[in-house]
Amino acid sequence: MNAGKIKGKITVWMKAETKNELKESTFVDKEFMQLWAEIIPQTATLQRAAADTLLSSTTHKIKVRYGSGKLIKQDMWITFKGHRFDIKYILNPYFRNESLEVFVEEVIT
C-alpha cells in the first residue's frame, strides 16, 4: 500500500448501548476510532423525484491499512470533513491482509 496516498484522517462511528436515568437501554452515536485513509470517488447519480426535488447518490472507496481498520464493521459509518459516509461493504483485496477497501455511500441531507 502506498503510504503517500493516505492523506485524509477519517473518523469511524458506531452505535453504543447506554442506560438512561430510567434504566432503559438507548443507543447513542459514539466515536469508535480515527485513522488515516485514502478517499477515492467512484460514481455519482442525480435523479429527479416528485415535486421538483433531486435525489443524489454518491459512492466512494476508502482505503485503509489492514491493521488499523480490521475492526471496522458494516453497521458503522465514517465522517470526513463534515461529510457522512454509510458503509456498504468491506473488502480485503486478494486476502493479503495489507489493506482494506471500504465501499461507502455519501449521505446527502
| Pairing label, strands 25-49, 8-19 | antiparallel
Q: Are 12 and 78 in contact (CB under 8 A)?
A: yes
Q: What is the pTM of this model?
A: 0.80
pLDDT for res 23: 86
Three cell numbers, residue 104: 461507502
pLDDT for res 10: 96
Per-residue pLDDT of the chain (109 residues; tens, 9 = 90+): 666 667 789 999 999 999 888 888 999 999 999 999 999 988 877 666 666 666 667 689 999 999 999 999 999 999 999 999 999 999 999 999 999 999 999 887 6
Instruction: Look up the CATH number of domain 6-17+28-107.
Output: 2.40.10
